[in-house]
Structure 1
């Protein structure tokens, strides 16, 4: 499991590096003005639907179903099942695309009601360009799920790199487009074509590329639909919260949408590298073990995934808590991205950090249910958290602006995780033993020490890095992060020894 998580994580790191280059260019060329906010809304909309119909509900229901058919009925039955699902996916996506393209002005009016004038007009134009991306990336997500089901994780982990490279090239050639925002928009769509092509090639090489089949509501397809309904509503819960962010932020001070976007890009780093990687590996692993009648082994795999996830994600929490302003200034403050924009994004990043532990662990917690074909229970947990989340967004934005939206998201994530753990434990779907709790406590102690070390080092370095006016923020962040990481590693090892735990053993099992 560790090997697969690290494999996905390594490719995701490369994706995030190219993603940072893309975001840095976007910040420098677009800043946080009307064109930037219009592009962020236009690109967020297909990505939100992707999370519902792609990696979210669709793969949540599809992967365990595909694993069961493959194990119980063989390759040919799995190929036919996959082809029928591909047909259903194509039909649903073409209908959705047609509706959005036909009613784009009304769609923007609903999702960004605060947009007027230039922001509104650009958002309509950009959404009509970007929305076909959803069809392409949803198909890519389905074939990625098939590859993950058979233990081929590399292609799906590497594909997002092809999101970033076309956008980087398009932004580098922005003079060929009417504006840099148009360049980013077309680069976004081209990336969908490249990602789908790459995944189809990988699936073909792995001999799991099934063509669309005639739709038939046989037993596997009916079982898939029974799981899909609750999973779709559950995935919509998270995305409704995202839509709520967009709706509310569009009515706040100018730049709020952009501030949330840039903060979320940094917040997504540990989620993509660690949380999603662990969940991607864990779901098919637990599905296989449970199908083989080995629930104790499935619970052990889940405990290990939780430990590895929190071990690797905790340093990000320390950084978000200790130096959010330094992070945003060092990474983005150049060109059209001003110090004011950096401060607004830093406030949102700090608020997102409050929920980071919960956000990265939710995928591992939901695997308890999804691996058993139970998509209804995570649905109710998600909807409960969503209700509280949206109410908090309304209550907190008045005084906290975009940071209130981010804080509400964090609180909602904690409520979701706690509900999932309690419900799974009561049903025997999860077994969190004392050893795991001691390991998590050791990591928490090291996180606190790392945050304190980063804060103090950052303050002490300021007079010295001032001698490097163009690179002072980058230099401060590099040194601060290095010293913080060293402190984290040392304290983790010492805490494990003090608690009577073997760190190497924890990594292996």
Structure 2
């Protein structure tokens, strides 16, 4: 598998979804602002999304994919892999249904626990409960999407799974345009749009699996040895892979105790932060896990380490400039994208502050995606769990200490700090076990990438000062200014990186030409 080409394919399709996501957020900001209904919807969308990432992505990207790949490449081939997927689906679907049913019954208590800061705002609390009750069944649809995506990724068919999130954004944009009054009615329309988006995503991935030759049928639920093996992997993998999202429940709890709009500010900042993380980190993690698993199964530990080295180089080449650029240009970017309508200049300023802090952890977030396959491919789910829980505890303690001093900025700071501690712990354990070590050639590349990013930061700062009038002007002027910043930053970074040897030039040519060279 060509890692650069595969990452480019997944990342490109993810970019389509992210662009639509930005369009959704831009419309949301202007229609909804950062008021009561906007906060309530963000909480209602956050809860099933976090459960989806916890149960769906956490389990199937780290536990299901290696086991499915083993059977696909083993003696039984496609038939054995298909049977395994059917057995998992037969057990997984009833569990999802029961979990959803229980949460919908006790939704007022659950929202009350998570958003206890809204207890003195009855209208806001009731709206949050209503919206979350509507959106929570999304968990069923999107978790099944994760299962089918795992099958497709193991078959190296990445297109449908990478594009599926775009359908959710299309559904939400439609809801905003159909009901644009900006109050509870719009929030309810968006909640219904979440369910519609989940159904469309499931239909796309299910149809793609059938076209790939796996016409899966629903079996009676039975805890077979194969399903038990997966469950043993899922329980710690769910916590380990989704610990970041578990932490978001705690951060939501803290955010409901901050001024109104805090959930919206955090959501918009995280949207910008997640763009490079999704395009680079998720694409790399998706691409390398099956490949590393096959190398480990064949006993080719050197090949597994080589893949992780290549992924580390690529991730740093792309995330270091993204983090620096977002930090330097946070104000202009947020103003250009979100300011307008019901979203004021003060709202944009607070969002920019959060963004400039949280992106400090961006390279670490992507490194975690690159390093964890080194554990999961060897069936070690425990170590990432222990590390992740330790980081969660540290983050919670930091928040209790820092929020009284820093306000909303403390949430961004602790998120970035915890990510770096997590990434460093994963790396040093892999190195101590002899599974992966950053060689001197790779250290040299990373140092040169930092130099290129520093040069870019200086250029961006100077350009930002010269274009200050654009960023205080109309929406079109702000967009022109941001376009100039992004273009100049990209040109300067890659020109310097190319000149000083911060990248493998042959690999870059492969990515640009989308074909193998020499």
Partner of 2:22: 20
3-state secondary structure, aligned to 1:214: coil
Partner of residue 472, structure 1: 477
Cross-structure match for 1:103? 106
Bigger shift: 381-390 or 227-236? 227-236
Q: Does 1:381 align with 2:387?
A: yes
Kept after mapping to 2: 8 A contact 1:449/1:488: yes
- Separation in 2 of the partners of 1:507 and 1:419? 33
Report the CA distance between 1:440 and its aligned residue.
1.2
Q: TM-score, normalised by structure 2?
A: 0.94
Q: Does the aligned pair in 2 maintain the 1:321–1:451 contact within 8 Å?
A: no
By how many angstroms is 1:452 displaced?
1.7
Q: How far apart in 2 are the matches of 1:213 and 1:76?
A: 15
Q: Give 1:217-296 correspondences, 5 Å limit.
A: 217-296=223-302
Query: Matches of 2:389 and 2:412 in 1, distance apart?
Result: 18
Deviations 1:447-466 (A, max 9, x none): 11112211111111124666
Give the C-alpha shift of residue 311 in structure 1: 1.4
1:91 to 91, 94, 97: 94
Q: Give the conservation status (yes or no) of the 8 Å contact 1:130–1:185.
A: yes
2:164 to 152, 159, 163: 159
Equivalent residues in 2 for 1:6-85, closer than 5 Å? 6-72=8-74, 73-85=76-88
8 Å contact from structure 2 (residues 268, 351) kept in 1: yes
Question: What does 1:321-400 correspond to in 2, within 5 Å?
Answer: 321-400=327-406
Supply the distance in 2 between the matched residues of 1:312 and 1:213 (Cα, whole angstroms): 44
Q: Deviations over 1:76-125 (max 9, x none)?
A: 22111111111221111111111111011101011111112221011001
Distance in 2, Cα, partners of 1:166 & 1:243: 25
Match of 1:117 among 104, 115, 122: 122
**C-alpha contact (below 8 Å) 1:146/1:208 kept by paired residues:** no
Question: Counterpart in 1 of 2:178?
Answer: 173
| Structure 2: gaps of 5 or more residues | 511-515
1:483 — aligned with what? Answer: 488
Q: Structure 2 CA distance, aligned partners of 1:480 and 1:345?
A: 19
- After superposition, what is the alpha-carbon deviation per residue over 1:211-237, rounded to whole angstroms, capped at 9, x for unaligned? 232344444323212211211222342
Single out whichever of 307-316 and 79-88 deviates more from structure 2. 307-316
Question: Which digits, 9 at most, give the CA deviation of each residue in 1:409-446, with x for residues without a partner?
Answer: 11110111001001111112213211111111111111
In 2, Cα distance between equivalents of 1:153 and 1:271: 17
Q: Once the two structures are superposed, what CA deviation does each residue of 1:344-382 show, in whole Å capped at 9, x if it has no partner?
A: 111110111110110111111001011111111111111
Rate the CA distance shift 1:202–1:253 in 2: closer, same or farther, 3 A: same
Q: Deviation at 1:469?
A: 3.3
Where 2:500 maps in the other structure, the secondary structure is: helix
Give aligned pairs, total: 505
- How far has the Cα of 1:126 moved from its partner? 0.2
Moved more, 106-115 or 203-212: 203-212
Secondary structure at the residue paired with 2:220? coil
Work out the CA distance in 1 between the residues paired with 2:252 and 2:141. Answer: 24
Q: Describe the SS at the equivalent of 1:430.
A: coil
Tell me: CA distance 1:470–1:146, structure 2 relative to 1, closer, same or farther (3 Å): closer
8 Å Cα contact 1:140/1:199 also seen in 2? yes
Question: CA–CA distance in 2 between the matches of 1:343 and 1:56?
Answer: 34
Query: What is the distance in 2 between the residues matched to 1:79 and 1:470?
Result: 52
116-125 or 148-157: bigger deviation:
116-125
Over 3 Å counting, the alpha-carbon distance change for 1:175 and 1:329 in structure 2 is closer
- Residues 470 and 481, structure 2, Cα contact 8 Å, conserved in 1: no
CA pair 465-84 structure 1, distance change in 2 beyond 3 A: closer
Which residue is 2:513 aligned to? none
Whole-angstrom distance in 2 between the partners of 1:39 and 1:216: 38
Distance 1:353 1:99 in 2: 36
Which residue, out of 454, 457, 473, partners 1:451? 457
- Report the more deviating stretch, 182-191 or 40-49: 182-191
Runs of 4+ aligned structure 1 residues displaced above 4 Å come to 175-178, 505-509
Distance 2:477 2:123 in 1: 36
Q: Distance in 2 between matches of 1:191 and 1:232?
A: 24
Asked whether the 8 Å contact 2:91–2:223 carries over to 1, the reply is: no
Q: 1:259 to 1:464 in 2, by over 3 A?
A: closer
C-alpha distance 464-35 of structure 1, shift in aligned 2 (>3 A): closer
> For residues 253 and 176 of structure 2, what CA distance do their matches in structure 1 show?
27
1:128-139 correspondence runs (5 A): 128-139=133-144
**CA drift at 1:298:** 1.4
Over the residues paired in the alignment, what is the CA RMSD in angstroms?
1.8
Offset from partner CA, 1:23-63 (integer Å, 9 cap, x none): 11111111110000000000000000001111113331111
**Conserved 8 A contact 1:57-1:234:** no
**Deviation of residue 506 (structure 1)?**
7.2
Aligned with residue 426 of structure 2, among 420, 427, 449: 420
SS at structure 2 position matched to 1:125: helix
2: CA distance between counterparts of 1:407 and 1:182? 32
